[in-house]
C-alpha cells in the first residue's frame, strides 16, 4: 500500500495546503486516537509543538480529533520533540504528538507520532493509521468525549531529565557557551538546562514570533552562532534546529563541527569508559568515510543505514547499539532518550570539554573528512536510474572509486530528484564522477 500522508518522519507539508490542513489534522487525531484505544483505562494523548504560527491551528484541530473519539488530551505547549517522547512515557500516555516541521521554514508544519514507549511509530502502525484516514470512524458517545487540559510544569520536567543525563559531579562552571535555539521549540529549556549546570550562557535565536523559526539561525544556518562565538570569546557554540532534535557545534574559532565528528567523540568517549554497546556507532550512508576510518582505527565499527533517523534508530534497537545519528546533526543516545535529542547530545559534548581541559578546536576535530560532494538532479518524469546508459556510467564510477571512496545514489522520497553523492581521497576525481553521473541522468530524463 502506498503512502499518501506519512513520509520519512511523520506527516509534513505546506500549511493550509495538501496534507497539512486543519481538517486533515483533526482526522489524524481521530485515526491515531482510535488506533490507540486499547484496554479499558482512561486513554490519554500528550501534544507538544514548536513555535510556528500554524501550531495553534493544528493543535486545536488535533484536540478536536482526539477528544471526539474519547481520548483525554494533555497540552504541553512549545517543547522539543524529544521532550514529547519523554513525557509520553512519564505521563503514561497512550500516544504522543509533536507538531513541527523540524528544520523547515515556518510556512511548513508537520505531525510526528510517538507510541506509549516514547519511540516513533513503526511503518505498520503508520500504515494502519493512514488507512483509517479515509474511513468513517466511530465517535464517542456524548458522555465519553475526552477532556483537554494544559500542564504548567512540562518544561521543568524536561530540564530535570536533560540534566540527569550527566553525572552529578559534572559542572560547566567557567565555560562561556553560545546557545542558538533557532527561534524554535527549545528557546526556553536548552539555555535554562545549560545555565543551571553552571555555564555562562549567551543566547541567540530565542525570540520566536511565529514566523522566524529557522530563519538565518539554528543548525541549518550557522553564521549567527559562529559570529557570536568569535565576537564574545565563547568557548563553544551550540546550534539546535526548530524542534531541537538536531545538534551542530561550532568551536571557539567559529568552525563547524558536524554530526559525524560528534558521533566520533561521543562513541569513543563511551568506548573508553566501557559503556559503548554494539561495538560501534550507527549512521547513515551519508556519513563521511573519514568517520568510518577513524572508528576502525580504534577497533570500532560504523554500521550504515538508509537516510533518516528512524532507520538509524531501528538498527540501533535491533542490534543493541546505544549511539547513532546523522551527519546533519541527529544524535540518538539510547541511554538517555528514545529519539534524537540535541540538548542531551550537547551536554555530552560539554562534559567531554570539561574533562579534557582542551579547547573545542582540539577536542572536536577528531578526523579529516574525505572530500565529499552531493548534487541533486531534477527530472520531469520516468525512472532515469533504470536507463542503461545511466547504469553503465554508475558502474564505471563504482569501479573507479573501488577501495578509495564511496558512491551513494538515491531518488528523493518526496520530489522528482535524484541525489548523487560521491566521496574519496581525490577531490577532483570525486567531482568528475558526480558530474558524469549527473550528466547521464539529465540526458536520460530529457
Query: What's the CATH code of the domain at 380?
Result: 3.30.310.50
Kindly state whether residue 410 falls inside one of the protein's structural domains.
yes
- Whether the model pTM is above 0.85: yes
Full DSSP string of 107-171: TEEEEEEE-TTSSBPPHHHHHHHHHHTTS-PPPPPGGG---EEE-S-HHHHHHHHHHTTS-TT--
Q: Are residues 408 and 354 part of one domain?
A: no
The Cα 2–Cα 113 span in angstroms is 19
Q: Are residues 351 and 380 part of one domain?
A: no
The Cα 357–Cα 340 span in angstroms is 27
Q: Are residues 255 and 107 part of one domain?
A: no
List C-alpha distances in Å: 321 to 21, 282, 313, 325: 38, 7, 9, 11
The count of domains in the chain is 3
- In tens, the pLDDT along 126-167 reads 999 999 999 999 999 999 999 999 999 999 999 999 999 999
- In tens, the pLDDT along 268-316 reads 999 999 999 999 999 999 999 999 999 999 999 999 999 889 899 999 9
Which helix (H) or strand (E) element contains residue 296? helix 289-296
Catalytic residues: 102
Q: Are residues 192 and 335 part of one domain?
A: yes
Full DSSP string of 168-189: TT---TT-EEEEE-TTSTTTTH
Q: Which domain holds residue 11?
A: 6-152
Question: pLDDT band at residue 414, thresholds of 50, 70 and 90?
Answer: low
Q: Are residues 330 and 272 part of one domain?
A: yes
The Cα 281–Cα 276 span in angstroms is 9
Whether residue 1 is predicted with pLDDT greater than 60 in this model: the reply is: no
Amino acid at each position: 500500500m502506498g503512502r499518501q500522508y506519512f513520509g520519512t518522519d511523520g506527516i509534513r507539508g505546506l500549511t493550509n495546503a495538501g496534507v497539512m490542513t486543519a481538517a486533515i489534522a483533526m482526522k489524524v487525531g481521530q485515526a491515531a486516537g482510535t488506533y490507540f484505544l486499547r484496554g479499558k483505562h482512561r486513554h490519554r494523548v500528550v501534544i507538544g509543538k514548536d513555535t510556528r504560527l500554524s501550531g495553534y491551528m493544528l493543535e486545536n484541530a488535533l484536540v478536536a480529533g482526539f477528544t471526539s473519539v474519547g481520548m483525554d488530551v494533555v497540552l504541553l505547549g512549545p517543547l522539543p520533540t524529544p521532550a514529547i517522547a519523554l513525557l509520553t512515557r512519564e505521563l503514561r500516555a497512550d500516544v504522543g504528538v509533536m507538531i513541527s516541521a523540524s528544520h523547515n521554514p515556518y510556512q511548513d508544519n508537520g505531525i510526528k507520532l510517538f507510541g506509549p514507549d516514547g519511540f516513533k511509530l513503526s511503518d505498520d502502525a503508520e500504515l494502519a493509521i493512514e488507512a483509517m484516514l479515509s474511513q468513517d470512524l466511530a465517535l464517542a458517545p456524548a458522555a465519553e468525549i475526552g477532556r483537554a487540559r494544559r500542564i504548567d510544569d512540562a518544561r521543568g520536567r524536561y530540564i530535570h531529565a536533560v540534566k540527569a543525563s550527566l553525572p552529578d559531579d559534572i559542572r560547566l562552571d567557567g565555560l562561556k557557551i553560545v546557545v542558538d535555539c533557532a527561534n524554535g521549540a527549545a528557546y526556553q529549556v536548552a539555555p535554562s538546562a545549560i545555565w543551571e549546570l553552571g555555564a555562562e550562557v549567551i543566547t541567540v535565536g530565542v525570540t520566536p514570533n511565529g514566523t522566524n523559526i529557522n530563519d538565518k539561525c539554528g543548525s541549518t544556518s550557522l553564521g549567527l552562532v559562529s559570529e557570536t562565538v568569535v565576537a564574545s570569546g565563547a568557548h563553544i557554540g551550540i546550534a539546535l534546529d526548530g524542534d531541537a532534535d538536531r545538534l551542530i557545534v561550532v568551536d571557539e574559532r567559529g568552525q563547524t563541527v558536524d554530526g559525524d565528528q560528534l558521533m566520533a567523540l561521543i562513541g569513543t568517549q563511551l568506548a573508553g569508559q566501557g559503556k559503548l554497546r554494539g561495538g560501534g556507532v550507527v549512521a547513515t550512508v551519508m556519513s563521511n568515510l573519514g568517520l568510518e576510518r577513524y572508528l576502525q582505527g580504534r577497533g570500532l565499527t560504523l554500521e550504515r543505514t538508509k537516510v533518516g533517523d528512524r532507520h538509524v534508530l531501528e538498527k540501533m534497537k535491533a542490534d543493541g547499539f546505544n549511539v547513532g545519528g546523522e551527519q546533519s546533526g541527529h544524535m540518538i543516545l539510547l541511554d538517555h532518550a528514545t529519539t534524537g535529542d540535541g540538548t542531551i547530545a550537547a551536554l555530552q559534548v560539554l562534559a567531554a570539554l570539561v574533562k579534557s581541559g582542551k579547547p573545542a578546536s582540539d577536542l572536536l576535530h577528531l578526523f579529516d573528512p574525505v572530500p565529499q560532494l552531493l548534487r541533486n538532479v531534477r527530472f520531469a518524469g520516468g525512472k532515469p536510474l533504470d536507463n542503461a546508459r545511466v547504469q553503465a556510467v554508475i558502474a564505471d564510477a563504482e569501479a573507479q572509486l573501488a577501495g578509495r571512496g564511496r558512491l551513494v545514489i538515491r531518488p528523493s522520497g518526496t520530489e522528482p530528484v535524484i541525489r548523487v553523492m560521491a566521496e574519496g581521497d581525490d577531490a577532483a576525481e570525486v567531482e568528475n564522477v558526480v558530474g558524469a553521473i549527473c550528466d547521464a541522468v539529465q540526458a536520460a530524463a530529457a
